[in-house]
Amino acid sequence: MEYRILYNRKANNGRGYEESLKIKEILTDHELVFQDATDIEDLDAYMNSLPAETKVVLCGGDGTLNYYINHVSEETLKRPLDYFAAGTGNDFLRDLEVDRENILQDVQKYFVNLPTVTINGKTSKFINGIGYGIDGYCCEVGDQQKEKSNKPVNYTGIAIKGILFHFKPVTASVTVDDKKFIANKTWLVPTMKGRFYGGGMMACPKQDRNDPEKKVSVMTYKTGSALKALIVFPNIFKGEHVKNEKVVSIYSGNKVKVAFDRPCALQIDGETVLNVSEYEVNT
């Protein structure tokens, strides 16, 4: 049987192709054709040109999943697709609570009813979450470091320095299903389809990507003390930050709008968007 392996060479700090070769250890008795998905001019047309019996494996990280869902049609999203996690964070598979090492995971069923985010008039789907604030700042600085060096980016170090010295909290206007409130001295306001983003940050521990009402969760992380922000921050990786109700609030709904009082970097499934004043999510 023929398998088309669609990889992203930029995944895993530029090791996307090398990581995709591990699939040879899984599909030992099949014909494998490797292709960088980002080099395909029309990914939707490419997928539709494949015979129905040809198997397709998407290989990369959360950003690769985001690229796929935004470059094919709704009809193509219904086509069976396996996924091989080869990114740095792999938060999508983390949320599914499956082994992320050397397995192929059927993911097509998770491409149904995906939420959208609109920024500056451009609308796109997302599969994990939207990060806005210190998390977007970390992605911005991380991208800058990647341009200068091939060394792995220490996002934890960036976050610590950002909180203590470089990133200043904002005033956020947050609207969830037409209920609006103002959050002062805010460090981040992510909106989540799944529980995880940012390489294991469990921003919204009770969020269910299979919620029958298609609701997403919004977290506000606010405190006037940089030291307090830094002390509570590591708890996000265990989902225990929600215990500090003076710092963390979580809301759920089907329509979300977040605006900051100054432009900040934002990330969509790990992909950075600069100078964003507001975003809107619809499910």
Quick one: which of 14, 146, 71 has its CA closest to 58? 71
117-282: CATH topology is: Tumour Suppressor Smad4 (2.60.200)
pLDDT in tens, 59-74: 999 999 999 999 999 9
pLDDT score for 102:
66
C-alpha count within 13 angstroms, C-beta hemisphere, residue 186: 25
**Which secondary structure element, helix H or strand E, spans residue 136, and what is its range?**
helix 134-148
pLDDT score for 95:
94
Q: So where are the chain's domains?
A: 2-112, 117-282
Q: What is the mean pLDDT of residues 108-128?
A: 95
pLDDT score for 100:
66
Is residue 233 within 8 A of residue 207, CB to CB? The reply is: no
Inform me whether the pLDDT recorded for 152 exceeds 80. Answer: no
Give the whole-angstrom CA distance, residue 43 versus residue 72: 6
* Greater pLDDT, 259 or 105: 259
**Can you state the percent helix, strand and coil of the chain, rounding each to 5?**
30, 35, 35
pLDDT band with cut points at 50, 70 and 90 for residue 242 = very high
The full DSSP string for 69-109 is: HTTS-TTGGGS--EEEE-SSS-HHHHHHT---SS--EE-GG
- Same-fold call for 2-112 versus 117-282: no
pLDDT in tens, 169-186: 999 999 999 899 999 999
Given CATH 3.40.50.10330, say whether it is the number of domain 2-112.
yes
Quick one: which of 82, 77, 78 has its CA closest to 7? 82
pLDDT score for 89:
83
What are the residues whose beta carbons fall under 8 Å from the beta carbon of 234, sequence distance 6 or more? none
Give the whole-angstrom CA distance, residue 135 versus residue 131: 6
pLDDT in tens, 186-210: 999 999 999 999 888 999 999 999 9
pLDDT in tens, 77-110: 999 999 999 888 889 999 998 876 667 889 999 9
Quick one: which of 201, 137, 130, 129 has its CA closest to 168? 137
**CA end-to-end distance (rounded Å), the chain:** 38
Q: What is the mean pLDDT of residues 133-149?
A: 88
Distance of CA 228 to CAs 189, 219, 232, Å?
17, 17, 6
